[in-house]
Structure formats: structure tokens, C-alpha cells
Amino acid sequence: MRRKPAIAALIAALIALAAIMGWNVWQSELISSPPAKSVAVLPFSNLGKEEENAYFADGVKDQILTYLAKIADLKVISRTSVMQYKSGGARNLREIGQQLRVANVLEGSVQRAGNRVRVNAQLVDARSDQHLWAQTYDRDLADVFAIQSEIAQAIAAQLQAKISERERAAIAQPPTSDLVANGLYVQARELEYNFSHQSMLEAVRLLNEAVTRDPYFLLAYCMLGEVHLHMFQMYDHTPARRELGNVAIQNAVRLQPDAGEVHSALANYAYWGFLDYDRARAELDLARRTLPNDPEIYDITGLIDRRQGRWTEAIRNFERAVELDPRNLQFLWDTALTYACLRRYSESSELLDRLVALSPSNWRARLYRAGLPFRERADVRPRRRSSPRFWRNNRRPRRILLLLLPCGIAQCSSAILPLSMAPSPPYQPRDFHRYHRAVATLSTRANSTPGLRLVRLTMRLRRRPPSALLGRLLKRPSVINRTTKPPGAFSAKSTPVTDAKMKPCAKAVGLANSCRYPGMRF
């Protein structure tokens, strides 16, 4: 009789454990499975023979995607991620659905012949390869925008998405009445995110020609303004270039001031043009109302959150940007860097691994990934091992040495190890200046060791990168030709660094300790 209560308690505990395990399994399946109202619009096949028809097919697909992205009840994958599946070979839709985390995939073909166009579209359930919907449209070329609108509405109806009257009106509105102007816009869009100077100049030329043909082309004006701002940020830092972006955006404001694309362009102008975070945030909030699936809105909002110290909101916005554009390298980088700043190294490593898998030649991501063990547990070996490979094929020795700088600091003395063992608050921009002042003091006052040589060489490379010295350093880190040192930089006599000899650096070490530089604590 005494055993019965114990047996009953054991049975109750087993039932509770089974219930908990079942709940966890159900929750994990719920999280891992993509939402039912999610879709990726893959590049349409071009069945025409002329090259200009390829741009036409891309334009048909892009406009369908743009229409669907305006529906808040849908999750629509951004153009940057789906364009990577542009190929003539067979597609594994189930695998694509898993990579993009969507339940449905839209694919099709476009054939243009004279004044006629034939568009074939089909919606496939990526989880089961089941065809949900298919339709062929054979009409006059002038009706191509109506075809795109009808396809978008048919897909929304098939997925049982709720469409507001405002969204329905936006889907029914063609972007332009000039097919040639639309073709120029599509070509410029192909070049916009190339980020080379020549590509941006060519995109500006194409967009100027497009708005000349159609002065009411809202999207072309918005893109023209954003391209000018990208050039202002990366190449031409003159007020004249920024003003060219402003002129294009003001033309868009004149046409349709309440459009989401206009508010997005105004946010870019405030952020990239003036670093006016509050004004940019206000415009982004307005843009999000009509562009719920635009990942760039979430990414820029995350950048603003990060600069203003709103780390929880920054992570949420970056994660949403990656969810909508999972193969966008810049969004993966922004999110991984933010995770690292918050000392969430496992999540940062996972995103950097994804980034490197998509872009194996991305040396910055590889080196940063190799540096995470140093940030987490002061392990410099992965970064040391990875550096020589990238030096051989990289033309930016200054940046490589700045990434190697913490390795040298970590090897200076046991007095400043272990690093990053105690948590620190997220960094602020001013802390970088204090950190580099501390490093400069260390590099000029302490005696020479392999680690300090690396620090000193890095500080010198910030002014002028001597490639020969860098090559020798990466080949044999413990040997540096001291005959090339700048006068008065450090003693030619090499003596071991001891804790006693680190005392002159106490002030610098204390200064570095007060820094909130991510992953760096002396």
C-alpha cells in the first residue's frame, strides 16, 4: 500500500514530462515551419531571343513582386534574395522554399513578340510541390501592367490574404504609362546595388532618361534620389551630389507626397545626407504603413536604433530585414555585427557562416568570423590562422592590420589577459576614440614583443601601409625588420615584456578598461 503513492507520483511526473516535451516539439515545429501566407516570386524565364526581352521579363516579375509586397497580410521575399535563383536550369522548389523560409513559390515565363506578350505564371506549394494555381495571359503589349496586377490579385486570393481598399488601389495602379521608360528603370535597378562608381553613374543616366520620357514616373524619381545618396555616401561626398538626390526626391514629393516610396526616399535623405536620426525615423514609420515587406526600411531603422543605443529594437528590426531578404549580404552583416556587440557570439557566428557560404570571397566576413573566439574568450589563434590567406588576394592591407590589432594587444602581456571575460555595456561612438588613444599609448611606451610589434605596425599602417612589412608580418609574426621603424616610435632593443614594465601603461590600460568597445576589455 505504501508503494501506491510513489507509483502514482512517478506516473504523474512522467505524464508532465511527456506533456512538456510535446509542447516543446510543437513549438519548435511551429517556429521552424514558414507561415502559410508567404511567397517568393522567382525570376521569370525569358522565352524571347533578344537581350532586351530579358529586361522585360525581369520587369514583369519585379512588378508582380512589388504589388504583392504592398499587402501587409503576406510575407514576400525581397528582390535581392530571389534574383540569385535566376538561371536556365531546373529548380528544386522544395529546397528554395526551405532556403527562403516560404511556403509558396511563384514562377513563370514571358514571351514578347512584336506588339503581343504571353505571360505564364504558376503558384506552387514549396512544401509538397503541389500546383495551387496556374494561368496563361496572351494579350496586347500595352496590357502588360494589367496582367501583372491580375496575377498579384490572383495570388493573394489563392493564399487567402486580407487586402485593404488602399492596398487594392495600389495594386491596380501602373507604375508608368511608358514601356520604354519602364525598361530603362528596370535596367537601372539591375545596376543600383552593384555599388561600383561606374554602375551608379550608368544608373543615373538611365533614370534621367526614364523621367525625361515620363515626367510622372514616381518610382524612377525615388530611385534616382537614392542612387545619388549612395554616391554621396561612398564616392562623391560633395553637397552638390547630395542636392542632386534632394532634387529628384522633391520631384517625387510633388507627384505623390503620401506614397511609401517617397517617405522611404526622404528617410534615406535624412539618414545618409545629414545623419538626422529623428527625422529619418519619422519618415520610416510613415513608409512602413504602405511598404510592410520592404526590408531596407527595417534595416535602416535598425541602424538608427543601434546608433541611439536601442539594442532590443535594433535586433528586432535587423531580424525582420533578414527574414524578408535572407540572402542579402549587407543585412546579414548588420545583424551579425549587432549580435557581436551584444556578446551574443553564437548567433553572430551562425549569420556570418551563412554570409560566407553565400559569398566565399568576402574576406571581411571571414576575418570577423575568425575574430569572434577572441572576443568571446581571448583566443587569437583562429584569426591568426585565417589572416595570411586573405592577405595574398587582398589589396587593403590597412584594413587587415586593423582587424589583426586585437591579436597583438592580446599577446602583449599576461597583465592584460584574459580579455572580454567580464560583460560590458554596448559601445558608443566616442569610445572608439578613447580605445585608440589607449592603444597608441601602449604601442609607444611598452617594450618590444611580437604582440607589441603588431600593435605598433598597425598604428603606423593607419597612416601609410607598407605592403612589404605586412607580408613579412603575416609570414612570420614574430619577426619584423626594425630598421624601417619611424624615428622615435619605439626602441630598437627588443626585451621581454614583464608585468613590471607594463606599469607605465597603467593609465592607458585603465582608459581602455573604461571603454565600452564591444568584446574588448583589458
Residue 340 lies in a domain: no
Say if residues 517 and 490 touch (Cβ distance below 8 Å).
Answer: no
In a domain, 418, yes or no: yes
Handedness of CA 464, 363, 296, 51 (dihedral sign): positive
Note the pLDDT of residue 298: 97
**Radius of gyration for the chain, computed over Cα atoms and rounded to the nearest angstrom:** 28
Is residue 151 within 8 A of residue 62, CB to CB? The reply is: no
User: What is the pLDDT at residue 258?
Assistant: 94
Q: How many structural domains comprise the chain?
A: 3
Longest pairwise C-alpha distance within the chain: 94
Q: How many whole angstroms separate alpha carbon 519 and alpha carbon 454?
A: 19
Residues 117 and 57 in one domain: yes
Task: Say if 410 falls within a structural domain.
Answer: yes
Calpha distance 406→408 (Å, rounded) = 5
- 185 part of a folded domain: yes
- Run of H or E residues at 39: strand 38-41
DSSP structure string for 448-476: --HHHHHHHHHHHHTT---HHHHHHHHH-
Cell of 165: 481598399
Model pTM? 0.74
Does residue 472 share a domain with residue 379?
A: yes
| Domain boundary pick from 132, 150, 172 | 172
- Specify whether 167 is located in the same domain as 219: no
Contact assessment for residue 419 and residue 405, using Cβ atoms and an 8 Å cutoff:
no
- Looking at residue 511, its pLDDT comes to 35
Q: Are residues 117 and 220 in the same domain?
A: no
Which residue range(s) make up the domain with 126? 38-172
- Model pLDDT, residue 192: 72
Whether residue 144 sits in one domain with residue 63: yes
Alpha carbon 260 to chain centroid distance?
21
Whether the CB-CB separation of 207 and 185 falls below 8 Å is answered with yes
The answer to the question of residue 301 being in a domain is no
Give the Cα separation of 413 and 452 in Å (integer): 9
Q: Is residue 252 part of a domain?
A: yes
Residue ending a domain, among 292, 316, 350, is 292
Q: Is residue 275 domain-resident? A: yes
Q: What is the pLDDT along the chain (522 residues), one digit of tens a residue?
A: 455 666 666 666 666 666 555 555 444 444 468 899 999 999 998 887 776 677 888 888 999 999 999 999 999 999 989 988 886 667 888 999 999 999 999 999 998 888 889 999 999 999 998 999 999 999 998 899 999 999 999 999 999 999 999 999 999 999 999 999 999 999 998 887 777 888 899 999 999 999 999 999 999 999 999 999 999 988 888 999 999 999 999 999 999 999 999 999 999 999 999 989 999 999 999 999 999 999 999 999 999 998 888 899 999 999 999 999 999 999 999 999 999 888 898 999 999 999 999 988 887 788 888 878 877 776 667 766 665 555 555 545 445 555 555 555 444 433 333 333 333 444 444 444 444 444 444 444 444 444 444 445 444 444 433 344 334 434 433 333 333 333 333 233 333 333 343 333 333 333 333 333 333 332
Residue 445, all three cell numbers: 611606451
195 and 140 housed in the same domain: no
Residue with cell 519619422: 282
User: Are 155 and 262 within one domain?
Assistant: no
Residue 212 is predicted with a pLDDT of: 96
Q: What is the CATH number of the domain that holds 124?
A: 3.40.50.10610
Q: Residue 188's domain is classified under what CATH number? A: 1.25.40.10
Q: In the 8-state DSSP scheme, what is residue 379? A: -
- Distant-in-sequence, close-in-space partners of 260: CB < 8 Å, separation ≥ 6: 70, 286, 287, 288, 289, 290, 291, 294
Same domain, yes or no: 203 and 113: no
Residue 207 phi, psi dihedral angles, 5° rounding: -70, -35
Cα torsion 280, 281, 284, 285: sign: negative
C-alpha distances in angstroms, 240 versus 66, 111, 140, 200? 32, 43, 44, 16
Based on the domain organization, do 377 and 270 belong to the same domain? no
> What's the confidence (pLDDT) of residue 240?
94
Rounded to the nearest 10 degrees, how much is the dihedral formed by the CA atoms of 197, 203, 209, 215? -120
3-state secondary structure of 173: coil
Residue 356 lies in a domain: no
Tell whether 208 and 132 lie within a shared domain: no
Tell whether 132 and 273 lie within a shared domain.
Answer: no
Identity (one letter) of the amino acid at 491?
Answer: S
Domain end marker among 268, 292, 316 = 292
Q: Are residues 42 and 183 in the same domain?
A: no
Q: How many CA atoms lie within 13 A of 270 on its CB side?
A: 18
Q: Tell me, what's the pLDDT at 404? A: 53
Q: For residue 112, what pLDDT is reported? A: 87
Tell me the three cell numbers of residue 206.
538611365
**Structural element, H or E, at residue 124:** strand 116-125
